Structures are given as structure tokens and as C-alpha cells.
Structure 1
């Protein structure tokens, strides 16, 4: 089992049921962390527009936008996000319909722990394999005669864009690619314009700024965790170092509509 932690959004309109689902997921010890919750499909789509989780667990029967409409939208616009349907209704028509929208599983409420464990195990294997495949593609490029260093660096950049929130060591990645880490860093600077470490920091801070501005329900600690900083104090210090403002100050100025007048060291990287 890999050491990566994957982010989960839970969508459920009943507060007690929502809390129970979140508790069971957090206590599963399968490497899934609930970082977002929503009361209906519309609220969930708003959050997906700001930050994509790895997996969405959603109820079917909800006001405004129901679970089936939500998974349809996710399949159409956020195909990298895995979806799992939760329902207290024993209606297999929903399960059959959900297959059309690439739903990974259909679980009944209340959640059976064994069924949840099996579901998370399958998701874990799938997500780990997808993440590992990026490194494998990088190694293939490196091993293929005639492929330029620029191509290898571009694969590394894509890997960092997809995995910035996870813990990994750049020297281990360099070793996997049969590169000397200093050589890899030198070429990264030459092609991208900054070191891999600075690239990751700027990417994390840019993602954090989007979350602070767009999702008011998230605490500073939660925002830090979502971009890969478990230590809130470290995250706040680094954020201020990069932007000149604390996370709370930045959010407050955004709420007042003053963020456009702030001069920040904004390093947005296209994905």
C-alpha cells in the first residue's frame, strides 16, 4: 500500500448522516482524508470548480441538484475524479444508471464497514496505479533513444502539477529516472525557470490562495492540509513569506474586494 493520502468530498444533506460517513472514512486507515463536505450537488460543483478531490462520495436524494445529476456533471467535466454513490434506497435502477457516468461503486446506507473497506481498497489500488503510471511514463521517456531532456523535464513538471499535495522526495524521483538529482534540478531551472522545490512551493501557495478566496467554509488549517502542509504554523509562515500576507489577512482582503490591488508574488503554473 502506498503512502499517499487521497482527498475526499462527501455530499449529503442530512447532517447526522454526513458526520457518520465522514467519521467512518477518516477512521478507515486506508489513506483517504475528508477535506470537503457539501449539502447538495450544486454546492459540491461549486467546490469542484475551486479544488478537485480525488474521490466524491455522494448521496442520491438531495435538494437543488441530486446525486445522479452530480455524477453526470462530474463525468462530463471532471473525469479524473472518482465517484461513489451512497443511498438508503434499494433501487438498482440507480446503480445501472450510474454505470453510464463512470461511477466506481454503489453503497447502501447505513454504511457497512466491510463493503466500505472493499470499496476503498479498490479505489486505493486504482489511484496508486494512476500515480505510479506518471513515473513509469517518465522512465520510458528517459530510456527511449532520441527523446530529449526537455521531454523528461516536461513529464516531471506534469507529475508535480498532479501530485503537489503529496509527500515525495525529488531525489527519489531523480533516481527512478536514472538522473543525478543536481543534474535534474539544473535542467529544470533551465527549462522551467526555477528549481523543482520552488516550483512546488509556488504551486501550493497559488492553490491555497484560490481556496482561501473561493471557499469560505474552509479553515486556514484545512486549506493548508489540502495543499500538502499539515503544520498550520509552517503553512502560515510560508504563505506570508510568499505573499506578504497571512492566510487570514489574504482572505479578509479578498472578502473586501481588495485583492486586485495587492502586489503578490503570484506564481500560477498552467496544468
Structure 2
């Protein structure tokens, strides 16, 4: 929603502009009116607007002086000049004040719509450029948070996302120094970062449309700025994470199966090596926390439990060879400490390696006697 302040000393012109804007639809809404520049500045002290449409010639304070004051006190606002005079001097002053557009009276509906649409594009580009620069500056500060987002989405932790969104919002708010209108652009840029990290299509291509907070804030008091823009940012981020979670659920199963199969094959082959979680995660590559959660969810056991299972089964086979010492068996299945190996073997089979070997010998003797 883009809020517009209309400033003209003629009441019928103010209402005419508002009527035309009401017909456009889209993001534009008239939030306030003023009869001169001084009234407009007083209104802006207590209300938020994105665009000011101002007549040049007005009593008390004219439009050019108003625009100059707006640039000083509300630099993020854009201004559109309305004038009955197609004079170079006015146009030159307006250009020097960097106004968005210069419209002649009587105001043509199409010209007004074009001017507002141009202002909307300019505002969006300016804010996105600013938050992109901000994210470049804060790159080191948000990497852990970005990793949390990808881990939550990839591991389908749908119950945890509200706290994640709030934590992200609090992080962002520390960057903007009270400039709350940047939160919407910042949350949009953040969603695009998450999409890139997940290797998903950019937000504009395949993202579910974002709703704006549907409270009646066509007129937005400055005291409500933080609440309003925070809630809109929350809705954007929650909408995006739910979208990502849904897409991941639909396309994740077969890919996860491939990953688990590859990890198992690697462990089956390299069970005697010094394996660690980081090395296994680098095979894909994916984050360690994601791999850990996915393996447990898919197999019902942890990777380390699976590794122990493989090693114990291999050890049991090696113990059948009486020429191989217990400590050699331990080394062959990846354990440098034979006591630790014996402890794990007993936890797994209920007997020590030596007891297992004796049981096998007794079984062999009984079989020979039986023969």
C-alpha cells in the first residue's frame, strides 16, 4: 500500500485528485489532505505518507517550498508537482528539487496514473537498492540466521518457524535504525536470499503472492509505524517459509532417499576410516544439522548408530578368524582403542569379543562331536 498526501488550496481539486486515484486500484490510497504547505508539514508530523502530490501556487507555503522541506524532513517521500503553469522556471525548480513528475492542470486521469505508477516503481527500486546494499554490509551478521532458515525448511520443522521469523525480524530491526518502512523491502530481499540458498526459483517467478496486513490503515499514524511494518514483514516471511516448506515436502522424498542411500554406501565402504559428520555432510554437500535430522527421520537411527551397526557386523565376521587378534579386529573396523571396541561390542551383542569367540569355538567343537 502506497499512501498519498494531496496538497492543494482548492477543495474541489483535492477531491477530484482523490476520486481519480480511487479509480486506479492497485496499491494507491489517499491518506490525507492539506490546503497549503504548512498544513501538509503539520500533518506529516503525525502521519506517514509515501507520495506527496502538491500544487505549486498556494498561500502560506507554496508547493516548491513544501517539497524542499519534505526532502529535508522526510527524504524517503517522493513528490509530484501539479501546476496550472507550463513555465520553464517552475519546471526547472521542480527538476532541481528532484520531483518525481510535473503534471499540468486540468489534471488528466491517464497522466496522473502514469505519474503515480512511475513513483511506485522508483520507490520500490530505491528501497530494494538500499536493502541490497545493507545486506552486503551485514553479510557476516546474517549467515547463521540464513543457515537456520535453510535447515528449518530442509528438515521440515514447520512447528518452529514462528520463532525463527521473529528472531529474523529482530535482527533486521537492529540494522534499520528506526526506518521501519524498509522492513518490507528487507523481508522481500531476505526471502530471495533464502530462495537462492535453497536453489529455488526467485520470489518473482514462483512465489505465492504475499498479502499485506489487512487492517484498516489507509491512514497510518506515525505511532503505529513500527507495529504496521513489522506485521507486514512477518506476514511476508511466514508466507514464504510456508511456501518453501510445502514445495520441499512435495519434491523432497526421492531426493532424500538418494542422499541416504549414498551416505549408507559410503559408510559401508569406509567403515574402518576415521569418519566424522562434517566429512559425511561434504559428500552431498549439505549442512551437518540437516543431514543428521534427515538420516534419523528416514532410517529411525542416527548415522553414528548406523556406523556402529556396520562395524559390529564386520567385527563379528572377523572374529571368526582365530588368527586375528581382538585388537587387530578393532583396528580393522575403525577403533584404535581395543577396550573401547570391546565395550561397544558388548553393548551391541551382550557379550565381549573374547566371549563371542569362545562361544563360536564351543559351537564348532559340539558340531565336530556331533559329526
TM-score, shorter chain, exceeding 0.5:
yes
Is the counterpart of residue 29 in structure 1 residue 45 in structure 2? no
Q: Considering Cα pairs closer than 8 Å and 6+ residues apart, tell me whether 1 or 2 has the greater RCO.
A: 1
Query: For 1:169 and 1:68, how far apart are their aligned partners in 2?
Result: 32
SS in structure 2 at match of 1:25: helix
Moved over 6 A (4+): none
The structure where helix makes up a greater share of residues is 2
Structure 1 vs Structure 2 CA RMSD: 3.7
Distance in 1, matches of 2:221 and 2:29, equals 17
1:53 aligns with 2:49: yes
| 2:192 alignment partner in structure 1 | 176
Deviation at 1:138, TM superposition (A): 5.6
1:45 and 1:70 in contact (8 A); partners too: yes
Q: Distance in 2 between matches of 1:151 and 1:35?
A: 40
Matched, 1:156 2:172: yes
Kept in 2, the 8 Å contact 1:52–1:81? The answer is no
- TM-superposition CA deviations, 1:150-173 (whole Å, max 9, x none): 99867621569433896x996x77
Deviates more, 1:11-20 or 1:121-130: 121-130
Alignment map for 1:118-197 (pairs within 5 Å): 118-137=114-133, 139-140=135-136, 144=139, 147-149=140-142, 156-157=172-173, 158=175, 161-163=179-181, 175-178=191-194
Distance in 2 between residues matched to 1:51 and 1:150, nearest whole Å:
36
CA distance in 2, matches of 1:155, 1:56: 31
* Inter-CA distance 64–131: structure 2 relative to 1 (3 Å threshold): same
The structure with the larger Rg is 2
Distance 1:95 1:151 in 2: 50
**Structure 2 residues not aligned, in runs of 5+:** 146-167, 196-212, 230-371
- The alignment covers a number of residue pairs equal to 182
Name the structure 2 match of 1:20: 16
Q: 1:151 to 1:83 in 2, by over 3 A?
A: farther
Structure 1: any 5+ residue segments left out of the alignment? 180-199, 212-222, 229-271
The equivalent of 1:248 in structure 2 is none
Counterpart Cα distance in 2 of 1:45 and 1:174? 34
TM (norm. structure 1) is: 0.56
**CA, structure 1 residues 161+69, in 2 after alignment: closer, same or farther (shift >3 Å)?**
closer
CA 1:76–1:208 in 2, change beyond 3 Å: closer, same or farther?
closer
Deviations 1:32-53 (A, max 9, x none): 1110110111000111222331
**Residues 116-141 of structure 1, C-alpha deviation per residue, up to 9 Å, x if partnerless?**
22212211111122333355346545
Shift of the 165–15 alpha-carbon distance from structure 1 to 2, 3 Å rule, reads: farther
Query: Partner of 1:37: helix, strand, or coil?
Result: strand
Residues 165 and 227 of structure 1 are in contact (CA less than 8 Å); yes or no, is this contact kept in structure 2? no
State TM-score, norm by structure 2.
0.42
Q: Deviations over 1:174-209 (max 9, x none)?
A: 643439xxxxxxxxxxxxxxxxxxxx9xxx9xx747
The answer to whether the 8 Å contact 2:172/2:183 transfers is: no
CA, structure 1 residues 209+133, in 2 after alignment: closer, same or farther (shift >3 Å)? closer
Aligned partners of 1:8 and 1:34 also within 8 Å:
yes
